[in-house]
Amino acid sequence: MPDRLSPEDQIALNWNACLHDVHESCALAGRPLDAVRIVGVAKYVDESLTAALIRAGCRDVGESRPQSLWSKAETLAEVDCRWHLVGHLQRNKLRRTLPLLSLLHSVDSRRLLRALDAETERTGQTIDVLLEVNISGDKAKTGFDVGDVVAAVEAALPLQRVRVRGLMGMASREGGSTQARRDFAALRQLRDRLAEQFANQISLDELSMGMSKDFAAAIAEGATIIRVGSRLFEGVPGIS
Ligand SMILES: *Cc1c(COP(=O)(O)O)cnc(C)c1O
């Protein structure tokens, strides 16, 4: 018996354990087991371990840097998965990024909305996006301030090819699981208010919230997408 699993087997084990925990959280919350989509955030690993994660069953793969997404989506072009960008997208990287994306989680300014509109008008592509909200109010974090989200939705309504599907957010760094749960509840309540206010124009079904350490709280508060990174690569040599 080898005393250590191969990186591929370790990743498959981690994926299955994560899926199990997600199902358990769904059951505890009285939600269907398939109510939550797991985006495997592969920013910690190279192409070959990203491919291992996909083979283990992860069909939604996220990156936080556009350049990493470009190179992986290119190398793994034949592999069946959907690509998600969860980090900031600079406007000069739109052209190369948009054709690869299934969902952009991180629309954080009205300037980016305008640039997305211009680029999709040019190409004819339709893009699904989430508005990133700075729920914790931490100045170091990206995302719309809570008070600016209504205006952002209003700015997005007339855009023909940019479809806002919901909100994305991160819990405060401080305050542990109690604060995380409060932050997630606040994001869900904001989404519910917007969904009511704009009920005739837009459906805001998606809530992308929860990461490795706090996804149980996010699922309890209504997350439809969680973004899990480090948890999937625990125990893989060379990954912290
Ligand atoms: C890295 C990252 C994640 C994954 O975080 P983990 O704690 O590693 O699970 C999720 N969302 C965003 C925006 C990230 O940058």
Distance between CA atoms of residues 3 and 63, nearest Å: 31
Which mutation among 211, 215, 219, 236 tests ligand 1's pocket best, with the greatest number of atoms within 8 A of CB? 211
Distance between CA atoms of residues 63 and 110, nearest Å: 22
Instruction: Compute the distance from residue 67 Cα to the ligand 1 centre, in Å.
Output: 17
| Contact present, 133 and 146 (Cβ < 8 Å) | yes
- Which residue has 């505890």 as its token pair? 28
Q: Which atom of ligand 1 is nearest to the CA of 39?
A: 10
The arithmetic mean of pLDDT across residues 11-29, rounded, is 98
The one-character DSSP state at 144 is B
Quick one: what percent of the chain has pLDDT higher than 70? Answer: 98
- Which residue has 């604060």 as its token pair? 179
pLDDT of 125:
98
Residue located nearest, by CA, to atom 10 of ligand 1: 227
Provide the token pair at 139. 């100045």
The arithmetic mean of pLDDT across residues 161-167, rounded, is 98
- Which residue has 């920013």 as its token pair? 43
What does the mean pLDDT of the chain come to? Answer: 96
| Contact present, 130 and 84 (Cβ < 8 Å) | no
pLDDT of 240:
63
The arithmetic mean of pLDDT across residues 182-194, rounded, is 98
Instruction: Compute the distance from residue 42 Cα to the ligand 1 centre, in Å.
Output: 9
Whether the predicted pLDDT of 133 surpasses 80: yes
* Region label for 183, one of left (φ > 0), alpha (ψ between -120 and 50) or beta (otherwise): alpha
Q: Is 197 in the pocket of ligand 1 (CB under 6 A)?
A: no
Whether the predicted pLDDT of 1 surpasses 60: no
Instruction: Compute the distance from residue 123 Cα to the ligand 1 centre, in Å.
Output: 30
Q: Is 228 in the pocket of ligand 1 (CB under 6 A)?
A: yes
Distance between CA atoms of residues 193 and 150, nearest Å: 10
pLDDT of 2:
60
pLDDT in tens, 55-67: 999 999 999 999 9
pLDDT in tens, 69-112: 999 999 999 999 999 999 999 999 999 999 999 999 999 999 99
Whether the predicted pLDDT of 172 surpasses 80: yes
Q: Is 212 in the pocket of ligand 1 (CB under 6 A)?
A: yes
Nearest to 107 by CA among 69, 41, 182, 162: 162
Q: Is 230 in the pocket of ligand 1 (CB under 6 A)?
A: yes
pTM as predicted: 0.97
| Contact present, 85 and 41 (Cβ < 8 Å) | no
